[in-house]
Amino acid sequence: MSTTQMTQGGAAVAPAHGDDHAHHESPTPLGFWIYLMSDCLIFGTLFATYAVLGYNYAGGPSPKDLFEPGFVAIETALLLLSSVTFGMAMLRAVKSDMKGTILWLVLSGLLAVGFVAMELYEFRHLIHIGAGPTRSGFLSAFFLLVGTHGLHVTVGCIWLITLMIQLGQRGFCEANMRRLNALSVFWHFLDLIWIGVFSFVYLVRLV
Amino acid sequence: MAEHHENNTHGSMGQLMTGFVLAAILTIIPFALVMSEVEMNRTLLIGIVMVLAAVQIVVHLVYFLHVNRHAEQGWTVAGTLLSVIILAIIIVGSLWVMHNMNVNMMPEMDHSAMPVAPAEAPAAPAMDHSAMPGMDHSAMPAAPAEAPAAPAMDHSTMPGMDHSSMPGMTTTTQPASN
C-alpha cells in the first residue's frame, strides 16, 4: 500500500483517491452509521414491545419454562467471537493481506451461521412444543425481537458472501474497502444489539 | 502515517483484544450469576445484569465500533446520542404509559386486579338492565347499594324514556328475558 493512500488520516473508510484534494471524504461511513442508528430505533421499539407484553403469558409458558441460559451463553459466545474474528479480518485487510482477510472472514461467517442455526433450532423447538409466536403476547414479542435480530445476522452473512466474491474479483480497491468497513460496522452493531437481547430478553427473565 | 490511519478507522490489535477481553468478562459475569442461581436480592440481581449490559454496550461502541469525538468530525457521536435519547423516550415512555393503563384498567380486563374486586364490574351492567321502569327497585336487594357505582350508565332508572332508542342499551328492549 503506497503512502499516498495513507495520508488521508481523517478518512473513515478507505484510502481516498490520490488525485483528489485533501478534504475529500466518502459520505458512506456517516450515512451507514445513520442507517444503523435508525435500525437501532427499530430494535428499540421491539425491545419496548417486549418490555410491555413480556408478562402477558395468556396462561401459557413463562420464560423460566422455555429459556435455557447455557444455550444462550453458547449463542452469545459465537456472536462475540464472530465479532472479534471480523475485527481480525479488518486488520489483515488494512495490511492488504488477501489470504488472511478471506480466512478471518470465512471464520466470522461460519460462527454467524452457527449462531443462526442455533436460533432456528430454538425457534423450531419452541413452535414444536406449542410455544410459537401465536401462543401469547410474551411469545409474539419474543419471536418478533429475536427473529428480527436473526434476520439481520442472516442478511449480514449473505452480504459477507457477496463481498468475498467482490474481493476475489477486484481485490482491495477503494470501493471494496468501503464496503468491508460498512459490513464490519454492521457486524459489530449486531453483536451490540445481542447484548440487549441476552441480558434483557433472557437473563433478566430467568432471575 | 499508517498508524494514524489505523487509529481512526479499523482500530488496532490492542484495541480489538482489549474490547474482546472486556466484553468476555462483562458477558461471563451476568451468565454466571444467573446460572449459578446465586442467593441475592432479585431486584439487585436484575440491576446488576442491566448495568453490566449497559457497560458492555459502551465497550463495544468504543473498542469495536470506534465511536469517538474525532470520527466524522463528531457526527457519529451526535447521531449515537440522538438515538440513545429517542430510545430512552420510547422505552421509558412505553413502560410508563402501559403501567398506568394497567393500573387504571377495568378490573375484569386486568387479571392481576381480579382478586381485589371480583364482583363489582360484572354486577353493574347486570343491574342496569334489570332495573326496568315500573319495576320495584326495593325488591332488588343489590340495586340500591350498587346504583351509585355506575350513575352514568344507569339510564334505565329514568321513567318515561324510551330505552330502545338509546345506543348501547339494546338489550333492554327484551324485558322478557328478565
Q: Are residues B3 and B59 in the same domain?
A: yes
Q: How far is CA A197 from CA A6, A93, B122, in A?
A: 39, 31, 41
Closest CB to A30 among B34, B57, B75: B75
Residues with Cβ within 8 Å of B123's Cβ and at least 6 positions away in sequence, in order, are B142, B146
Among A40-54, A66-80, B92-106, the range scoring the smallest mean pLDDT is B92-106
Q: Are residues B3 and B58 in the same domain?
A: yes
Assess if residue B176 is contained within a domain: no
Q: Are residues B51 and B97 in the same domain?
A: no
Q: Flag whether residue A155 sits within 8 Å of chain B, measured between CB atoms.
A: no
Among A177-181, B69-73, B93-97, B112-116, the range scoring the smallest mean pLDDT is B112-116
What domain range includes position B52?
A: 1-66
Percentage of the residues of chain B whose pLDDT score is greater than 90: 39
Contact A188 B64 (CB under 8 A): yes
Assess if residue B128 is contained within a domain: no
CB-CB neighbours of A23 under 10 Å = 9
Look at residue A8 and tell me whether its pLDDT is greater than 60.
no
pLDDT (0 to 100) of residue B6: 40
pLDDT (0 to 100) of residue B108: 57
Q: Are residues B54 and B77 in the same domain?
A: no
Q: Flag whether residue B163 sits within 8 Å of chain A, measured between CB atoms.
A: no
The more confidently predicted of residues A112 and B157 is A112
- Find cell 469517538 and name the residue: B68
Contact B50 A49 (CB under 8 A): no
- A48 vs chain B: nearest CA distance in angstroms? 5
Closest CB to A37 among B31, B80, B94: B80
Among A44-48, A124-128, A175-179, B6-10, the range scoring the smallest mean pLDDT is B6-10
Q: DSSP alpha helices (H): ranges in chain A?
A: 3-6, 28-53, 63-66, 69-94, 98-128, 137-170, 174-196, 204-206
Q: Amino acid letter at B57?
A: I
Percentage of the residues of chain B whose pLDDT score is greater than 70: 53
Q: DSSP alpha helices (H): ranges in B65-157?
A: 75-104, 120-130, 142-146
pLDDT (0 to 100) of residue B146: 43
Q: Are residues B24 and B56 in the same domain?
A: yes
Assess if residue B166 is contained within a domain: no
**Residue of chain B nearest A192, judged by CA positions:** B57
- Residue A119 CA to residue A157 CA, distance in Å, equals 15
- Chain B hits for A182, CB-CB cut-off 8 Å, are none
The more confidently predicted of residues B115 and B47 is B47
User: Which of B 89-148 lie inside 8 A of A, CB atoms?
Assistant: 90-91, 94-95, 98
Residue-averaged pLDDT of chain A? 89
Percentage of the residues of chain A whose pLDDT score is greater than 90: 86
Assess if residue A117 is contained within a domain: yes
Q: DSSP alpha helices (H): ranges in A129-173?
A: 137-170
Assess if residue A21 is contained within a domain: no
Closest CB to A87 among B4, B64, B83: B64
* B83 phi, psi to nearest 5 deg: -70, -30
Assess if residue B116 is contained within a domain: no
Decide which of B30, B45, B66 is a domain's last residue.
B66
- Residue B47 CA to residue B54 CA, distance in Å, equals 11
**Which CATH number goes with the domain that contains A73?**
1.20.120.80
**Residue of chain A nearest B80, judged by CA positions:** A37
**Residue of chain A nearest B68, judged by CA positions:** A12
For A189-202, how does the pLDDT look when each residue is reduced to its tens digit (9 = 90+)? 999 999 999 999 99
pLDDT (0 to 100) of residue A52: 93
Q: Flag whether residue A176 sits within 8 Å of chain B, measured between CB atoms.
A: no
- B17 vs chain A: nearest CA distance in angstroms? 8
Domain count, chain A: 1
How many residues are given for chain B?
A: 178
Three cell numbers written together for A177:
474497502
- Chain A hits for B25, CB-CB cut-off 8 Å, are none
- CA atoms in the 13 A half-sphere facing the CB of B136: 3
Look at residue A16 and tell me whether its pLDDT is greater than 90.
no
What domain range includes position A165?
A: 26-206
Assess if residue B172 is contained within a domain: no
Closest CA relative to residue B28, chosen from A195, A112, A115: A195
- Residue A146 CA to residue A149 CA, distance in Å, equals 5
Look at residue A89 and tell me whether its pLDDT is greater than 70.
yes
Assess if residue B52 is contained within a domain: yes
- Residue B112's pLDDT band, with cuts at 50, 70 and 90, is low
Q: How far is CA B164 from CA A61, B123, B128, B147, B161, in A?
A: 46, 21, 14, 21, 9
- Chain A hits for B1, CB-CB cut-off 8 Å, are 3, 6-7, 9
Contact B64 A29 (CB under 8 A): no
Assess if residue A180 is contained within a domain: yes
How many residues are given for chain A?
A: 207
Q: Are residues B60 and B88 in the same domain?
A: no
Contact B50 A196 (CB under 8 A): no
Q: Flag whether residue B24 sits within 8 Å of chain A, measured between CB atoms.
A: yes
Percentage of the residues of chain A whose pLDDT score is greater than 70: 88
Contact A192 B49 (CB under 8 A): no
Among A97-111, B91-105, B138-152, the range scoring the smallest mean pLDDT is B138-152
For A149-173, how does the pLDDT look when each residue is reduced to its tens digit (9 = 90+)? 999 999 999 999 999 999 999 999 9
Domain count, chain B: 2
**Residue of chain A nearest B23, judged by CA positions:** A80
Assess if residue A138 is contained within a domain: yes
ipTM exceeding cut-off 0.90 for this assembly: no
Cα A173 to its chain centre, rounded Å, is 24
Closest CB to A84 among B20, B46, B95: B20
pLDDT (0 to 100) of residue B105: 82
Q: Are residues B55 and B81 in the same domain?
A: no
Residues with Cβ within 8 Å of B65's Cβ and at least 6 positions away in sequence, in order, are A185, A188, A189, A192
**Residue of chain A nearest B33, judged by CA positions:** A207
Q: Are residues B5 and B37 in the same domain?
A: yes
Assess if residue B117 is contained within a domain: no
- Chain B hits for A74, CB-CB cut-off 8 Å, are none
Look at residue A147 and tell me whether its pLDDT is greater than 80.
yes
- Chain A hits for B95, CB-CB cut-off 8 Å, are 48, 51-52
For A93-130, how does the pLDDT look when each residue is reduced to its tens digit (9 = 90+)? 999 999 999 999 999 999 999 999 999 999 999 999 99
Q: Are residues B2 and B60 in the same domain?
A: yes
Q: How far is CA B6 from CA A14, A15, A39, B3, B11, in A?
A: 11, 11, 27, 5, 5
pLDDT (0 to 100) of residue A146: 97
